Structure 1
């Protein structure tokens, strides 16, 4: 039975529903961090600790969430982050999420390791989307990917910098994560309890990494694909490689995975249009600081040289407001929309965005903030290390 919307009042409700409906290995792929998962938990916990400033006697009748992210007009400063295997949360998941984002008026970013390809998403949307790229050893393949993103009219390239090696995620190893799932007894038993998911997958031909399969020679099955992907992350990545990508891509360039002020300054020097303060959702270096704890220092380090976006631990509109109040000019959400996708498909992604928008709007009202550009007014105390002119500046 489909859930009544009235019974879903938070992202947590969507998470619980996704946990029941998505096969264990793919739910765990989303809802896990590396090693002890300490950094994964800290991202949300540190956001929760930030107090807000309640105000009264302010005319809040004409509030606006409209803003801009990386030069694009948005209904609210939120984007759907690039996430691998979204198409394993729900059949054709990346297409559904992109359509929901387009209707809502926010950006969608497609991962290199998506199930639906660049071309699949472009064929089912009309608004330009962002494409996420890893630095890979096969530079010819990277050039072809960049060319395909250009041909699909992608408006921005998101280059991920924090995956030169992959942090160990215990749940993925124990579950034997693979796409599609291997027909082991354990997997078959679990899949038998997910009839809705199985029926959806039977109705689509998209079951593997379609940005890669058919575009790289020698990949014939799941094993060869997994071996190729694991061997492609380039441990020799340097800022010169970033500049190489910058020369190939003449549209907006976003660098994701920045957590240190020194790295932020280097990123700004490459000519990037934006950076994303991110620790890969706690999936890489366990023990790294939370993203919100590092955001003010990164904002101060880059000044006005590049736009600063944020991700990590966002589960509510209040979290969005707190990140904006600390100097971010936009927020990326990953797990939040994936919970919606796994729970209810395209409708779930739309509902996730509606929940974030409503929470953001109501929290602004209670804080006496009428324009999202003035989000810093929502803080009980000024964010450390964020200059006043950076906190209160209207986004151009």
Structure 2
């Protein structure tokens, strides 16, 4: 696929100046049930709301008179260079948002020079997405069939994925009330491209008071996933191993002992255990627990360059960004994704300068105040 430029996206006659502008555009464009599928959380959505509130509760203590002319947002993520301390989070069924789905999203990530994480349940196959030329990581769910797990790992290796990200917080899909009320099911033209034919038909079968997507994952995923299984995965590949879904520092320590190259502090964007701790709140504990033995990334609620700076100041090496990418994708395909990432880069550059930080290393020395406590 030819690379497209990050052309400006016109939302309701005005140029977007932050990612929230694209959120409003996406909400207006998408069918209500599809919007609920990407925007909703589990249960009462208390964790979904808490993620944003917790990020807003982190106040940064800027340095002054730093004499900086230009800031550098470049990062090293799992040994590879990226223009931002950011990767596009793994997200399912992106053709729901745009006909080119993951192909367009990966193209936007390529334009922004950041890694794109391919979901196990993407609507384009690993092989198709690899043709875009973006830096790819592959996200793996633990399946009932170990043979399929090995097959997916080998396919990721063969197409040149640079990391394997194992999601560990989905023994079952969280109870997402919006999807249950909508009796959400995938349209016939959306497929689980990496998993066919194993149970994928269940995702298309609408049932009263049920989510067909949840029914499909129940068939495909194995809820008994344990540490010994993760150790087995580590033995199957030499790719850098990223463990996504860590909140407790004890789990972070165990992940390091099993050979993790990075952990992602994440509550799955508020879509799994409702009432779980906000990711930004757990982040400093995890950073302390791993003691520099692996990289630490964070996701859930990141919406601005200031949020990225908050995560860096609390010890993260970078962040994953999810829903904002989908907003850009639904609004304008690859250029929309590129614009979301460009806005985040502009905001981070400005936030670094205003905080007196020339680069990401300096950002990690910033002090922060949470809920009025002294720095």
TM-score higher than 0.5 here?
yes
| Structure 2 residue 104 is matched with structure 1 residue 96 | yes
After TM superposition, give the deviation of residue 378 of structure 1 in Å: 3.7
2:181 maps to 1:211: no
- Does 1:121 pair with 2:129? yes
What residue in structure 2 maps to residue 278 of structure 1?
Answer: 266
User: Which residue number in structure 2 is paired with residue 143 of structure 1?
Assistant: 150
> Which residue does the alignment assign to 2:297?
309
Gaps of 5+ in 2: 1-8, 207-211
Question: 1:67, 1:373 within 8 Å by CA — same for their partners in 2?
Answer: no
Q: Which residue of 2 aligns with 1:222?
A: 204
Distance verdict in 2 for CA 1:374–1:174, change over 3 Å:
same
Q: Distance in 1 between matches of 2:117 and 2:106?
A: 8
> Cα deviations across residues 229-260 of structure 1 (Å, max 9, x unaligned)?
32222121111100111111211110000000
Inter-CA distance 127–230: structure 2 relative to 1 (3 Å threshold): same
Any idea what SS the aligned residue of 2:28 has? Answer: helix
Cα deviation, residue 92, structure 1? 1.8
Partner SS, residue 66 of structure 2 = coil
**How far apart, CA to CA, are the structure 2 residues paired with 1:219 and 1:87?**
17
Partner of 1:328: 316
Per-residue deviation, 1:339: 1.2
Of 152, 155, 171, the residue aligned with 2:162 is 155
Deviation at 1:119, TM superposition (A): 1.1
**Cα distance in 2 between the residues matched to 1:7 and 1:62:** 25
Match of 1:369 among 357, 361, 368: 357
TM-score (norm 1): 0.85
Are residue 337 (structure 1) and residue 319 (structure 2) matched?
Answer: no
Which residue of 209, 228, 250 corresponds with 1:240? Answer: 228
Cα distance in structure 1, aligned partners of 2:61 and 2:17? 23
Using the TM superposition, give the Cα deviation of residue 55 of structure 1 relative to its aligned residue in structure 2, in angstroms. Answer: 3.7
3-state DSSP class of the match of 1:51?
strand
Q: Aligned pair in 2 of structure 1 residues 154, 169: CA closer, same or farther (>3 Å)?
A: same
- CA deviations over 1:47-89 (Å, ceiling 9, x no partner): 1111122443221103111111111101110110001122211
Whole-angstrom distance in 2 between the partners of 1:223 and 1:137: 21
Residue in 1 aligned with 2:337? 349
Of 285, 299, 302, which residue of structure 2 is paired with 1:297?
285
Contact 1:364–1:378, Cα closer than 8 Å, also in 2: no
- Is contact 1:87-1:207 (8 Å) kept? yes
User: 3-state SS of the aligned residue for 2:308?
Assistant: helix
Question: Is the aligned partner of 1:7 residue 2:8?
Answer: no
Query: In the alignment, is the contact (CA less than 8 A) between 2:11 and 2:21 conserved in 1?
Result: no
Do the aligned partners of 1:92 and 1:115 also contact (CA within 8 Å) in 2? Answer: no
Contact 1:95-1:116 at 8 Å conserved across structures? yes
Give distance in 2, aligned partners of 1:231 and 1:307: 33
In the alignment, structure 1 segments of 5+ residues that lack a partner are: 182-205, 384-396
Deviation at 1:221, TM superposition (A): 8.3
Q: 1:347 to 1:218 in 2, by over 3 A?
A: closer
Name the CA shift for 1:221/1:75 in 2 (closer, same or farther; >3 Å): closer
Q: How far apart, CA to CA, are the structure 2 residues paired with 1:68 and 1:163?
A: 28
Count of matched residue pairs: 357
8 A Cα contact 1:368 1:378, kept in partner: no
Provide the rounded CA distance (Å) in 1 between the counterparts of 2:246 and 2:159.
Answer: 27
2:50 is the counterpart of 1:30 = no
